[in-house]
Structure 1
């Protein structure tokens, strides 16, 4: 194994090609790197749609972005995108590469960039296939600092490099301009800060989305009981889910689904009294702003992927679950299993009440 020099690194590449929730968790790694090497340039390799968010919130000094659709295209399209990606990266002359993605493509990129110090995982998340190689010369444990949450997987390279862990919990706060825009938008809908629940009923895979009808049932009960308004959030491809919820709920439910950039979404989540939603990127974004969370999980283990650093309850149906959709489930892959559909309405209502009660007590103490 390479012996780490005590001299600071000057140009650092972090490869995080996954999703927005992963980037939120990886922001804690970036913060520690910045504290350890304040003069270093920290570059993130990430998907193009996340570039402005990563830059706006200071997660990276610079971003090299790629298009996921091209990386999933024809061999020629993939080759062109990979060539452009590596060419853009090599101009930085990195002396440290940290591969958080731990994928076949990220290992290829690590090898081609060829920084002197290259951190990867041992063992890899998935076994290397024939002809694959691990270009790393410094190896991080699957979970560093004796942690169990996936956050500690993204912090593990620090331990491998002998860097002190100075901060753990991701902390992302909206920009002042985005806060002003969020307050103005909420005002247009007669919504007050800290007086609404943000609900995200979407997720990247259908099986990870709790049924819209059940979200609606929770909203009706909690809104009627507490007087809190409800704001639906999500991406443009989740509008149909929002429409199904709005059709079953009171007029006080406002849908901002498809109307917010990631930067604006963060600002809206910061103003919420509570976040209720499926295991997804917005859940981690809400937690990173300090907003309490009720998270709904299926086969994914909440102890690995639950919200961190805020009052929260993560709900999961009893395991092993009775299969809810045999034609759709692809267990044991947690991203392709419909176990969350087994959650009933009552435990979710009870969890929302419990977290609201905890935060109410904190508010009273503060006053």
Structure 2
């Protein structure tokens, strides 16, 4: 009987909890409210986060996180890296793991940790082949990923949590963003993000340019075209060239510099990509442009989503089709959404310090 697993709600008020979410920017942003709610519920807990180095800045220095365990991309394919990861996880002696992503990487990390209580989604709501690695399985009822991941806290008797992100934006990043914003001689600033992780989720450059001209003519905006990859930059440059002087190319930024810059803006327009969700996390009004992915589960949380065509939402499908669904979104649809946001007073003047 000494080896019996105690009920999860009988643990101490200072449990050691691991959040497994080593995905991209969107994945981490969708999971950050879980960490905030855990900190509220367990002020004395030790909270760790397993994450990839390219997005670790989103949790490093976060008020809710005590320990950041960085794992290299593809670690689960290397026997030696699996052993190293297992050793690091076991040293932290986690009592509980939260499998936010429900895929091989997160489920395996939770299993390797040796935690007695491993919370994840039931089969059908996670990759079926790996759902068994968790022993406290939740059947979600909500659609949006933010709400669904917060449902993983129900075994801990955490209900109706308040959603917030508390991004750890440093003072230097804030100062840089405010200086960048002060150089834009306009009362209103819009961020345009043409980047996406596959062609089927990209909106055309000339449509971004036309939208920027509308923003300038109707509401007096100046726009910044942001980018991360070389391909994104080429598209951002096309937007600038066709904008008739209403768009400026954004400088190269780190992840947290971008978050700070978004915080100074009045509006962000983007496809389903990391910058869209980052903007939501810092409180910037956003319009998400959706083609093959579904705004019902991965749209900008409590913000505006536009989708004109219904396509399969399979992740593999996104990468194998053209952007027909995105081309169904016209400039007029985005301009109408902009008008509605202004009419409802959801957009004010710049919040730059």
TM-score by length of 2: 0.87
Query: Cα gap change, 1:102/1:10 in structure 2, threshold over 3 Å: closer, same or farther?
Result: same
Give runs of aligned pairs for residues 1-367 of structure 1, distance below 5 A.
3-6=7-10, 7-68=12-73, 70-71=74-75, 75=77, 78-129=78-129, 134-143=132-141, 147-172=142-167, 174-187=169-182, 189-191=183-185, 195-237=188-230, 238-256=232-250, 259-309=252-302, 312-319=303-310, 333-334=317-318, 336-337=320-321, 338=323, 339-359=325-345
Question: Displacement, 1:71?
Answer: 4.1
Q: How far apart, CA to CA, are the structure 2 residues paired with 1:336 and 1:3? A: 45
Deviation sequence 1:93-139 (CA, Å, 0-9, x none): 1011111121123222222211121112112435534xx56122211
Query: Cα gap change, 1:361/1:163 in structure 2, threshold over 3 Å: closer, same or farther?
Result: closer
Q: How far apart, CA to CA, are the structure 1 residues paired with 2:131 and 2:190? A: 47
Q: How far apart, CA to CA, are the structure 2 residues paired with 1:331 and 1:27? A: 22
Question: Displacement, 1:18?
Answer: 1.6
Question: Displacement, 1:296?
Answer: 0.2
State the aligned residue count. 341
Tell me the secondary structure at the aligned position of residue 120 of structure 2. strand
Conserved 8 A contact 1:174-1:270 = no
Question: Displacement, 1:30?
Answer: 0.5
Tell me the secondary structure at the aligned position of residue 144 of structure 2. coil
Deviation sequence 1:62-102 (CA, Å, 0-9, x none): 2111222x448xx5xx3333333222222101011111121
Conserved 8 A contact 2:99-2:110 = yes
Gaps of 5+ in 1: 322-328
Q: How far apart, CA to CA, are the structure 2 residues paired with 1:357 and 1:173? A: 32
Tell me the secondary structure at the aligned position of residue 5 of structure 1. helix
Query: Cα gap change, 1:134/1:282 in structure 2, threshold over 3 Å: closer, same or farther?
Result: same
Query: Cα gap change, 1:200/1:63 in structure 2, threshold over 3 Å: closer, same or farther?
Result: same
Conserved 8 A contact 1:2-1:117 = no
Query: Cα gap change, 1:124/1:63 in structure 2, threshold over 3 Å: closer, same or farther?
Result: farther
Deviation sequence 1:260-293 (CA, Å, 0-9, x none): 1111111111111111111111111111111111
Q: How far apart, CA to CA, are the structure 1 residues paired with 2:158 and 2:346? A: 39
TM-score by length of 1: 0.84
Q: How far apart, CA to CA, are the structure 2 residues paired with 1:208 and 1:133? A: 29
Conserved 8 A contact 2:189-2:223 = yes
Residue of structure 2 equivalent to 1:325: none
Tell me the secondary structure at the aligned position of residue 295 of structure 1. strand
Tell me the secondary structure at the aligned position of residue 345 of structure 2. helix
